[in-house]
Structure 1
Amino acid sequence: MVFGFMPGYPVDLGALEFIIVGLSNDHHVNIILFVVLSVVFFLTVMGNIAVLTLSLVDHCLQYTMYFFLRNFSLLEICFSLVIMPRFLYSLLTERKSISLPGCFLQLLVFFLLGTCVFFHVAMMSFDRYIAICHPLRYGTVMNGRVCFQLVLGCWVMSFLLIFPPTLVVLLPFCGLNVINHFYCDIAALLQLSCIDTGHIELMLLVAAVVVLPGTLTVTIISYGCVICTIMRIPSTTGGEKASSTCSAHLKVVVILYSSTIFRYIRPGQRGTQDFDKVVSLVYCVVTQLFNPYIYALRNEQVKKALKDIFGRTISKCLRIS
């Protein structure tokens, strides 16, 4: 049952609950969504766990590139856990209410991790640029200290950019408490606020412009230099593999950035349209599924390490039996 509050009167924030509409009100559609998204969620988490585990246990994957991939996989697991478990639970049980503290926590963690994802993508593209375009300097430039500082910088920058505009969302809420989304999205919350939210929308727009076009510029320049370097290499198997890998990375980058830029870089964030939910589904679900398989599991060294571990595991099982 949808319930509301008297328009024009601030609501006790501690007692406030929101109703998250979701993607559909049809029970049968929700069951189909539950099955499909459960499979996607499982594959996403298992793919990232595989990358994380391989990069930790295999001595051949202890290089700088895999340090970034390890952090990226951990970030992707956490990002998937922010929305999907609760959304799947609501699809299965049709319980759509969420408390204000729970909604605010989901909102803060979602945007913090999401922002950190874009910084990590830019950082990994820069790592590939140094490795391919300046291989002799790679060990000096991308040493352990620099890598740690880069990862720490991603988290610090994400927090500084996201926490202020997210904090000011805790405003008086009036009217209906219905969030037209499948998670606590900031645009839907702004729609429920009693006061003028123009300053918050401006803060969000500035943060989005810094994060999205900023990291995209680094990514495009890095991969552009990588492609130019690969094109100057005589036709070899190694060059073709590097070109194929970069092409796959760029496809994920295009999907991720196009959907997110369309969603968040626009003058007005107040209000949520149904099409926004579809766009959000792309960068919340689709790209999360592709990332571990494109960035890591297509890598020859990772595939070799995976085969070695499976081979050793099967040999041990056969010896025991």
Structure 2
Amino acid sequence: MQGENLTVWSFFFLEGFSRYPTLEIALFVFSLVMFLITLLGNSTLILITILDARLQSPMYLFLGNLSFMDICYTSASIPTLLVNVLSSQKTIMFSGCAVQMYLSLAMGSTECVLLAVMAYDRYLAICNPLRYPILMNRQVCVQMAAASWVTGCLTALLETSFALRVPLCGNLIDHFTCEILAVLKLACAESLLVDMVMLVVSVLLLPIPMLLICISYVFILSTILRISSAEGRSKAFSTCGAHLTVVILYYGAALSMYLKPSSSSSQEVDKVISLLYGVLTPMLNPIIYSLRNKEVKAAMRKVLGQIPLFRTHESL
């Protein structure tokens, strides 16, 4: 529908990786395998945190929320990528693009806040162990998790509503998903208001939580180094190592995408980073949290032991 230099697009074309047709089958297989592993791993982690009484502590409540976010995040973008890789018409409706943009932003923003909350939980557990059960009771945990969700969903709603009101001079998105920065590159003119909203939200959800995480770990490391026994230090490091690894992976990819000059790398590099950020990190989260965690591995063996196929295998 045309009207005074303004076009309201009813659908968009997703460029994706169509410039490299020989790689599309490999991309499809890679994305599908990673997506299925992400669904299986995170669903299993959620299941065992619900079923096993030993995993009812605050850390695992937050971990269950993290796994649910990872499932939602990948489900918002990867199925569209898989369909478009095999399709000659790589299109998405405007409504589908809006939903995809909102869900990706909401889950990503919520995860930024939740990782900071998890760092605070580890700080209390290690630096104030005697007061930890009082300071981090179940009601407080639920409130902090809810605050993470509300913050992420509201900021995503703000960004999405502003981005979708910007007049666009094209409908070919040079990305495999309706990523907000890729969509805004189609804007007919720069909008100072949208740029300010994006900058403020990015600062609130990336550097500030990252700074809080760093401060928490300064206190955590200081406390750990004062522990006299080697076993105690090892146990303290193991409880924080998984979270710190996830933080480095997540924030490293996010910062490289949202807080860099637009000319510092090509759009192709941005798409690769976004793919790794959206597929690889959610897949690795349950693996990272289970590999060095004896409680999670024990709970997983217990749950798998209740499945006839695994029970028969163990008896053999």
TM norm structure 1 = 0.89
For 1:233, the equivalent position in structure 2 comes to: 227
The superposition leaves residues 226-280 of structure 1 with CA deviations (integer Å, 9 ceiling, x where unpaired) of 22222221343342243245334323322321221121124669x9722211222
Paired residues of 2:168 and 2:186 also in contact (CA < 8 A): yes
Partner of 1:188: 182
The equivalent residue for 1:208 is 202
Contact 1:8–1:194 (Cα < 8 Å) also in 2? no
Superposition CA RMSD, Å: 2.7
Residue aligned with 1:18, SS? strand
Distance of aligned partners of 1:277 and 1:222 in 2 relative to their CA distance in 1, 3 Å threshold: same
Q: List runs of 5+ in structure 1 lacking aligned partners.
A: none
What is the rounded CA distance, in whole Å, between the counterparts of 1:59 and 1:205 in structure 2?
A: 43
SS at match of 1:168: helix
Q: Tell me the distance in 2 between the aligned counterparts of 1:293 and 1:12.
A: 44
Kept in 2: contact 1:201–1:268 (CA 8 A): no
Query: Is the Cα–Cα contact under 8 Å of residues 110 and 149 in structure 2 kept in the other structure?
Result: yes
Report the equivalent of 2:149.
155
Of the three residues 116, 135, 139, the one matched with 2:133 is 139
Mean Cα displacement is larger for which, 23-32 or 64-73? 23-32
How far 1:51 sits from its partner (Å)?
Answer: 0.6
**Do structure 1's residue 45 and structure 2's residue 39 form an aligned pair?**
yes
Offset, 1:165: 2.5
The aligned residue for residue 284 of structure 1 is 278
- Secondary structure of 2:307's aligned partner: helix
CA distance in 2 between partners of 1:32 and 1:64 (Å): 40
Q: Distance in 2 between matches of 1:203 and 1:233?
A: 45
Q: 1:292 to 1:11 in 2, by over 3 A?
A: same
Paired residue for 1:259? 253
Structure 1 position 129, deviation (Å): 1.0
CA contact (8 A) 1:6 1:174 kept: no
Taking the TM superposition and a 5 Å limit, the aligned residue runs for 1:29-108 are: 29-108=23-102
In the other structure, the counterpart of 1:128 is 122
Does residue 12 of the first structure (1) align with residue 8 of the second (2)?
yes
Aligned 8 A contact 1:22 1:181 in 2:
yes
Deviation at 1:195, TM superposition (A): 3.7
Distance 1:31 1:161 in 2: 36
Shift of 1:100: 1.2
Report the equivalent of 1:218.
212
Equivalent residues of 1:205, 1:267 under 8 A apart: no
Asked if the contact 2:72–2:103 (Cα under 8 Å) also holds between the matched residues in 1, the reply is no
Query: What percent identity do the matched residue pairs reach?
Result: 36
Aligned partner of residue 7 in structure 2, secondary structure:
coil
C-alpha contact (below 8 Å) 1:188/1:272 kept by paired residues: no
Residues of 2 paired with 1:44 and 1:170: CA distance? 30
What's the offset of the Cα at 1:120? 1.0
Change in CA separation of 1:274 and 1:61 when aligned onto 2, cut-off 3 Å: same
Letter in 1 for 2:27: L
C-alpha change, 1:94 and 1:298, in structure 2 (3 Å) is farther
Kindly provide the CA deviation profile for residues 132-153 of structure 1, in whole angstroms up to 9, marking residues without a partner as x. Answer: 1111111100111111110111
| Equivalent residue number for residue 299 of structure 1 | 293
Contact 2:238 2:293 in 1 (8 A): no
Matched residue of 1:182: which SS?
coil
Change (3 A) 1:155 1:310: closer
- SS of 1:19's equivalent in the other structure is strand
- Once the two structures are TM-superposed, the CA of residue 162 in structure 1 deviates from its matched residue by 2.5
From 150, 164, 167, the equivalent of 2:161 is 167
Task: Look up the equivalent residue of 1:255 and give its one-letter code.
Answer: L
Amino acid at match of 1:66: Y
Contact 2:238 2:292 in 1 (8 A): no
Tell which deviates more after alignment, 62-71 or 189-198.
189-198
Q: One-letter code of the match for 1:10?
A: L
Aligned residue-pair number? 314
